[in-house]
Amino acid sequence: MNCSLLRRALLALLIASLVAAIAALPVRAQAPATKPAPAKEAAKEPADKPAQDKEIADAVKRFETDGRDVFKKRNEIVDACRLKPGMDVADVGAGTGLFTRLFGPKVAPGGKVYAVDIAKKYVDYIQQTCRDQKIPNVGGVVCTADSTSLAACSIDLVFICDTYHHFNHPEKNLASIHEALKPCGRLII
């Protein structure tokens, strides 16, 4: 079997597994939509801020470069998400915020993008860059290892780019995503 066929077979298996896992989740009664809680305010100036700044700068150089296919095709990826004004979107595993910043203008007016990440320093960085770039409809959510920390029935689209393989508890993460999605909400991996 050549590499291309093997890759397609593995991708099909992953997608089938994800669909089966989501389909197996219990259906819940629709709760009133509430917005996720914003990330807690950062302390004035952490002692290791220079180290954090360097780590984030290194991540930006690594993830937001033309040498990375996801970066090269970022506009095509955003277009494929079929975003519309008024949608609420969660960028789970947001990292440096590449897609968060691209989604913000697409769902305005009336929509919001939640940058969800387990690392508070990245959530803080995304919120600051969005303020700097005048993207007002972005909020940050610091999640846990097994939950997105998003409110039930609050999200139209959950977007996961190149981070699913980092989930330590994929079943719990998918259950949390399922709970956060509005009826007819979509998950894009």
Q: pLDDT 10s per residue in the chain (189 long)?
A: 555 555 555 455 455 555 444 544 444 444 444 455 444 444 344 445 545 576 766 665 666 666 666 668 888 999 999 999 999 999 998 888 999 999 999 999 999 999 999 889 989 999 999 999 999 999 999 998 888 999 999 999 999 887 766 666 778 888 999 999 999 999 988
Alpha-carbon gap, residue 56 to 54, rounded angstroms: 5
Q: What is the DSSP letter of 31?
A: P
pLDDT of residue 182: 95
Alpha-carbon gap, residue 145 to 172, rounded angstroms: 9
Alpha-carbon gap, residue 177 to 184, rounded angstroms: 13
53 is written with which tokens?
């700044």
Write down the pTM of the prediction: 0.69
pLDDT of residue 145: 87
